[in-house]
């Protein structure tokens, strides 16, 4: 999923005041590091890699959890709920939107 580690470890994503550092597997909001679980971090990185693109639950389950769809699971919903809470508490200027019946998309706040 993550490709060549020697290349990927230096990737960084900047989404408004959110900075994702792949080398240290850390996330900062306005310069303050936020504590994420491994799954929350991988989920955020995957959405950042596909910014402004809708990602299906099936794709997320396959790529992050490495679970073949279809199975009944709330893994994506539970992870996004925790991640949204952490981003909101840190006053991140991005949001993870739910696309009903499909999946999720990450967007920068307009303000």
Question: How many separate domains does the chain show?
Answer: 1
Tokens 């792949």 belong to residue:
22
**Could you tell me if 40 and 47 are in contact, meaning their C-beta atoms sit under 8 angstroms apart?**
no
Confirm if 6 and 12 have CB atoms less than 8 A apart: no
> Domain residues for 60?
5-108
The CATH number linked to 60 is: 1.10.10.10
Q: How far apart are CA 84 and CA 87, in angstroms?
A: 5
Give the global pTM: 0.86
> What are the tens digits of pLDDT across the range 25-68?
999 999 999 999 999 999 999 999 999 999 998 898 888 888 77
């Amino acid at each position: 999923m993550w490709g060549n580690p020697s290349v990927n470890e230096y990737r960084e994503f900047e989404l408004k005041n959110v900075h994702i550092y792949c080398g240290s597997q850390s996330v900062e909001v306005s310069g303050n590091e936020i504590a994420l679980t491994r799954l929350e971090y991988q989920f955020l990185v995957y959405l950042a890699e596909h910014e402004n693109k809708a990602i299906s639950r099936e794709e997320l389950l396959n790529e992050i959890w490495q679970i073949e769809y279809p199975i009944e699971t709330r893994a994506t919903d539970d992870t996004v709920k925790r991640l949204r809470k952490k981003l909101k508490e840190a006053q991140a200027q991005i949001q993870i939107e739910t696309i009903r019946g499909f999946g999720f998309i990450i967007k920068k706040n307009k303000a």
